[in-house]
Amino acid sequence: MKKLFAITTKTIVATGLGAALFMLLFMYVKVPSGIPETSFQVAYGLGGFFAALFGPIAGGLIAFIGHALNDSIQYGSPWWSWIIASFVACFLMGISYKFLRADEGEFSGKDALLFNLIQIGANVIAWILVAPVLDIVIYKEPVNLVFAQGATAALLNSIATGVVGTLLLFAYAKARPKKGSLSTEE
C-alpha cells in the first residue's frame, strides 16, 4: 500500500530532478495570457506528473523550489504568494498518487478522469483562493487584479496539467511493465 507522505531516496531524487525541469519549463516554455504577470505554464503539467508518481511532498517541493529559483533568477527576488500557491497546487495534485498506478503500468481513462478532477480542484484552491489572498495580505495588491490573475492562472494551469500531465502519465504507464506481467521461461 502506498504511503501518501513517505519520504524515500526516490522521492528526494525525483524532487531534485523535477525542480530543475520545472524551473527550466517555467522560464522558457510559457505563453502570455493577456492578464498581467499570468501565463500558460507547461511546468504545471510536469509538476502534476511528478506529483502523481511520487506523492504530495515531491509535487509540492518541485513546484516550490522550481518557482522560487525561477523568480530569483529572472526577477531578482521571489514572489512568495505565488510560490506558495505553486506549492499548494502541486502538493494537492499529489493526492492522486494514492489512487493511481502509472508506476505499475496501469493508467486508464478512469485514472485520467480522477487525476484531472484532483488537479482541477488543486488549481482552483491554489489560484483562486491562496494566491489572491496572499497577494492582498503580503503585497497589498489590488483586489480586482489579483482575483482576475488567480482565475486566469487556475484555468490555464488546469489546462496545462490536464493536457501535459495526462499525456505524460499515459506514456509513462505504457512504457512500464504491468505488475505481474513478467514470467520466467522454463
pLDDT digits (tens, 9 = 90+) for 92-101: 999 999 999 9
| This prediction's pTM | 0.93
Model confidence at 185: pLDDT above 70: no
Q: Which residues, 6 or more positions from 68, have their beta carbon under 8 angstroms from its beta carbon? A: 78, 83
Label residue 181 by pLDDT band (50, 70, 90): low
Average pLDDT over residues 62-72: 98
Model confidence at 153: pLDDT above 80: yes
What is d(CA 131, CA 145) in angstroms, rounded to the nearest whole number?
Answer: 12
Per-residue model confidence (pLDDT) at position 114: 98
Supply the mean pLDDT for the chain: 95
| CA 36 to the chain's CA centroid | 22
- Determine the length of the chain: 186
